[in-house]
Structure 1
Amino acid sequence: MTKKKQIKILIVDDHKALRDGLKVILQMEPDFLIIEEAEDGKQAIKYAQTLAPDVIIMDIDLGEMHGIQVTEQILDNQPDICVIGFSMHEDPDLARAMHKAGATAYLSKSDSPDQLICAIRSCGHKGEKE
């Protein structure tokens, strides 16, 4: 069995407390590496370009730019990045819009951390052999 590569993760959310909480949870996973966090869409686009994460956890409500717009812009230039929409809104229309923008998954912030961990792994280890 080969060792799985670390999944490079960018966390995008305008709430520092949520970013900090996600980091605590995700850093406990040995195959996850939090490479950066962004508090708005402009930072997210910049970090996606410069750091090339495997997975981006993307909030929907980012202030100036909407997470859907940010997802579209990032994936237009870097289609291999896996974006997971992450929102407090359990709205099927938002979920559809995120999927249409190219997101692989859409999770609610009220979902269990295990669901997020599973979504990250399914994105980040795509194409790897067991």
Structure 2
Amino acid sequence: MANNNGIKILIVDDHKAIREGLKVILQLEPDFLVVGEAEDGKQAINLAQTLTPDVIIMDIDLGEMHGIEVTEHILSRQSDICVIGFSMHSDQDLARDMCKAGAKAYLSKNESPEQLILAIRNCGPIQGK
């Protein structure tokens, strides 16, 4: 999955503090490289296309576009990206819908950082990277 620079990660969340906090945590991992941050669905779609991340951490509530819709859109064009749903909602229906959209995992924001790191590592080999 990783290239020579590490596992490329795009963080998608409408809250700047969450994006910045995740970036700090993830950059502590020597093989993780945060390549971008998006605050809404449209920006996420554009950055996914231009940055070609290995992993996208996708919030559910993004304002105009829902994270599930954004996930479906991105994966319809770039099926080799591993999307991890990440939300303050621990609703099983949302988790199921996110996985139906193609996400490999769904985590609550209440989970420990170690759970997110493990989910990223568990994305497994991604074809074509």
Q: Which residue of 2 aligns with 1:122?
A: 122
Q: Which residue of 2 aligns with 1:100?
A: 100
- Tell me, in whole angstroms, the C-alpha distance in 2 between the residues paired with 1:62 and 1:42: 10
- Deviation, 1:53, is 0.2
Q: Assess if the C-alpha contact under 8 Å between 2:7 and 2:54 holds in 1.
A: yes
Q: Assess if the C-alpha contact under 8 Å between 2:85 and 2:106 holds in 1.
A: yes
- Tell me, in whole angstroms, the C-alpha distance in 1 between the residues paired with 2:27 and 2:74: 24
Q: Which residue of 2 aligns with 1:54?
A: 54
Aligned length: 125
- Tell me, in whole angstroms, the C-alpha distance in 1 between the residues paired with 2:90 and 2:30: 30
Residues 13-46 of structure 1 deviation map (CA, whole Å, 9 limit, x = unaligned): 0000000100110000000000000000000000
- Tell me, in whole angstroms, the C-alpha distance in 2 between the residues paired with 1:63 and 1:112: 25
- Deviation, 1:122, is 1.5
Residues 19-78 of structure 1 deviation map (CA, whole Å, 9 limit, x = unaligned): 010011000000000000000000000000111000000000000000000000000000
Other structure's SS at 1:95 match: helix
TM-score (norm 1): 0.92
- Would you identify which runs of 4 or more consecutive aligned residues in structure 1 move more than 3 Å? none
- Which 10-residue stretch deviates more, 36-45 or 4-13? 4-13
- Tell me, in whole angstroms, the C-alpha distance in 1 between the residues paired with 2:49 and 2:56: 12
- Deviation, 1:121, is 1.1
- Tell me, in whole angstroms, the C-alpha distance in 1 between the residues paired with 2:102 and 2:126: 18
Q: Assess if the C-alpha contact under 8 Å between 2:9 and 2:55 holds in 1.
A: yes
Other structure's SS at 1:22 match: helix
Q: Which of 1 and 2 has greater Rg?
A: 1
- Deviation, 1:127, is 6.0
What is the 5 A alignment of 1:1-130?
A: 6-123=6-123, 125-126=124-125
- Deviation, 1:93, is 0.1
5+ long unaligned stretches in structure 2? none
5+ long unaligned stretches in structure 1? none
- Tell me, in whole angstroms, the C-alpha distance in 1 between the residues paired with 2:83 and 2:39: 16
TM-score (norm 2): 0.93
